Structure 1
Amino acid sequence: MRNWILALGIAATACATAGVGADSHPIDRETALSDLRILSADDMDGRGTGTEGAERARAYITGRFEEIGIVPAFEDYQHAFTYQRQGASHDGINLVGLIEGTADSDTVMIVTAHYDHLGNCGGQICNGADDNASGVAALLAVAADFVANPPEHDIYFAALDAEEVGLQGAAALVNDFPVDLDRLALNVNLDMLGYQTENELPAAGAFHYPFLRDRVARAEVVEPVILIQGYDSPEWGPNGDWTFASDHGPFHRAGIPFIYYGVDFHEHYHQPTDEYEVMTLDFFVGATETVLNAVRLFDSELDAIRDERDAARTARPTKPGMGQ
């Protein structure tokens, strides 16, 4: 959506592109692009929930979790769940891992990205390179950096299932989180980081959690990315409020602050043309490194974020998002 509201949003957040705060961490570009390409290949058959393609995607992500050194968050990486849709019961499987922090703190964060997509669309494979092989590839790159350079706080990494059928995997994980939800200070959700011809990367969430706005702005933004804060309130128009548009929604309903990184809708969205070959790869790498810098900054201030979350809850006793 390209309108005057977007222009105002860009102007209002231009300072976010300056890149201050935490030092930039380059990712392993070749590995990240390989993850993106493999997860969006034809043999994944569109990664529809409950399909053999989704099973193959899980096997690949599990192997990458093990290779990176992420430890299972439950008895193993798999977090199975059941959900109801169209009068029938369906099964899904999240993959959840943990990187332990070095600080003496029980405050935790979670980085999420859904691995499922649409499967076949009208007889054609919808490979979902941007939506959301890109988010999973970025999550893996961020996790690899934190294994090499450990965080202060425990960070969970979750490749979620059944996002495309109503955010079911995220809702199931919120209802069955590995630790008390009160310890969870922040959700960073990644959904569509792979295709943007104008290099614009929205970061949504600070409308609901204003104490996150400056932190998002202070994290270094990596070229060619132009960071935009917004897309999280009615002022962005009927299609521009993404508060419940992806897996951060169930966390928000539970009162967990979130920042959602993901591009605007584009011509390949939910189409068979959403393939690796059309991705804007320099943007994807810059977006992934921008997210990594932000997660590093959030980790360094996570106890303060938790305190400010609690103060906001005291000022507003009802859970944010309820009834909105």
Structure 2
Amino acid sequence: MQLSPKGVITFFAFFISWSISAQEIDQKNLIKHISYLASDELKGRKTLTEGNVKAQGYIISEFTSYGLYTHYKDYQQSFSFQNRRENKEYENAKNIVGFVPGTESRKIIVISGHYDHLGIGKANAAGDSIFNGADDNASGTSAMLALAEYFSKNPPKHSMMFVAFDAEEMGLQGAKALLEDFPFELEEILLNINMDMVGRNDKNELYASGTFHNPYLKPILERAAAGSSPTLLFGHDEPSSKQQDWTQSSDHGPFFSKGIPHIYFGVEDHPDYHKQSDEFLGIQPDFFVATTNLILNCILELDQSLLED
């Protein structure tokens, strides 16, 4: 059964126009996704908790409604791992995986975002103990869902796999598990596009990290982002730079380790990062919608340009 948020969507009605064009995601659904995934009902979505399972159900329901294919039973790829920090074995964690066949190429673009977060912890000064993880990473998961819906209606040239990763917060375990149990040869993966924290930025900036390692991707993204708002910046991928290197900071890391090109879309850390205050009402709706549409345009440009190459 598809779950729906409880009334909070109206908060954004004054800020967002719901007009949809041929190259725009469904804005209303985008906000619906994040308002539910970041709600108190899911209690921070920590791996193997009830809230995490509810998030799985929501994502599966959306994939089902889009008519996505999958290579795993009921869209679920189960895996187990050892959490060294907790000295605990986690069994039956789940990635949620959907698939759209390409019209001109069998090569695969993997589009991903992790849906797990930190769960419930010690209450802060305001008495809030839930780490809702609105930006980290209900935002990336919601953007992934919006992109999956778009490409289910507008088939891409390359095949596209849409993945909601579990257990990112426990060492990128979901991404590692996918690559260990991938339904095709890893050589078939053309590119990973990973989204983690794309819902807010006071400077109206979004980073595309990864082009330092694969420079041929940068002019493609520059074409797609020309004149865009938010501004697309490049960086956070050079080991010798003064900037923090994000190359292994999220689920694109295991792809990089396997020699698979990646683009990581994200923002620089904000004061609510990994705090109970990372809540739905902190999301900047105009930025979030514009960012997701910018990522869509980048994917469309990559889908066309990499085919020609």
> For residues 106 and 200 of structure 2, what CA distance do their matches in structure 1 show?
37
> Is the Cα contact below 8 Å between 1:47 and 1:119 reproduced in 2?
yes
> Shift in Å at residue 218 of structure 1?
1.3
State the partner residue of 1:38. 36
> For residues 269 and 294 of structure 1, what CA distance do their matches in structure 2 show?
26
State the partner residue of 1:321. none
Q: TM-score, normalised by structure 1?
A: 0.83
* Aligned amino acid, residue 224 of structure 2: A
State the partner residue of 1:260. 264
* Aligned amino acid, residue 66 of structure 1: T
What SS does the corresponding residue of 1:164 show, helix, strand or coil?
A: helix
- Extract unaligned runs of 5+ from structure 2: 1-20, 124-128
> For residues 226 and 296 of structure 2, what CA distance do their matches in structure 1 show?
10
1:290 paired to 2:294? yes
> Shift in Å at residue 303 of structure 1?
4.1
4+ aligned runs moved over 4 Å, structure 1: none
> Shift in Å at residue 81 of structure 1?
0.6
Q: TM-score, normalised by structure 2?
A: 0.87
State the partner residue of 1:77. 75
What SS does the corresponding residue of 1:159 show, helix, strand or coil?
A: strand
> For residues 291 and 69 of structure 1, what CA distance do their matches in structure 2 show?
22
1:67 paired to 2:62? no
State the partner residue of 1:147. 152
> Shift in Å at residue 122 of structure 1?
1.1
* Aligned amino acid, residue 26 of structure 1: E
Higher relative contact order, structure no. (Cα contacts within 8 Å, ≥ 6 residues apart)? 1
**Corresponding residue to 1:250 among 250, 254, 268:** 254
| Root mean square deviation of aligned Cα | 1.6
> Is the Cα contact below 8 Å between 1:251 and 1:258 reproduced in 2?
yes
1:179 paired to 2:184? yes
> Is the Cα contact below 8 Å between 2:157 and 2:307 reproduced in 1?
no
State the partner residue of 2:236. 231
**Corresponding residue to 1:188 among 190, 193, 197:** 193
* Aligned amino acid, residue 96 of structure 1: V
What SS does the corresponding residue of 1:107 show, helix, strand or coil?
A: strand
What SS does the corresponding residue of 1:243 show, helix, strand or coil?
A: coil
> For residues 227 and 25 of structure 2, what CA distance do their matches in structure 1 show?
11
State the partner residue of 1:95. 96
* Aligned amino acid, residue 295 of structure 2: V
What SS does the corresponding residue of 2:225 show, helix, strand or coil?
A: coil
- Extract unaligned runs of 5+ from structure 1: 1-22, 306-324
State the partner residue of 1:13. none
* Aligned amino acid, residue 115 of structure 2: Y
Q: Judge which range, 141-150 or 35-44, deviates more.
A: 141-150
> For residues 259 and 74 of structure 2, what CA distance do their matches in structure 1 show?
27
> For residues 222 and 131 of structure 1, what CA distance do their matches in structure 2 show?
27
Q: How does 1:126-165 map to 2 (within 5 A)?
A: 126-165=131-170
**Corresponding residue to 2:303 among 289, 299, 302:** 299
- Cα deviation code 1:61-105 (max 9, x no counterpart): 1101111222223233000011111233113110001011111x3
> Shift in Å at residue 220 of structure 1?
3.3
State the partner residue of 2:122. 122
> For residues 109 and 224 of structure 1, what CA distance do their matches in structure 2 show?
24
Q: How does 1:198-217 map to 2 (within 5 A)?
A: 198-217=203-222
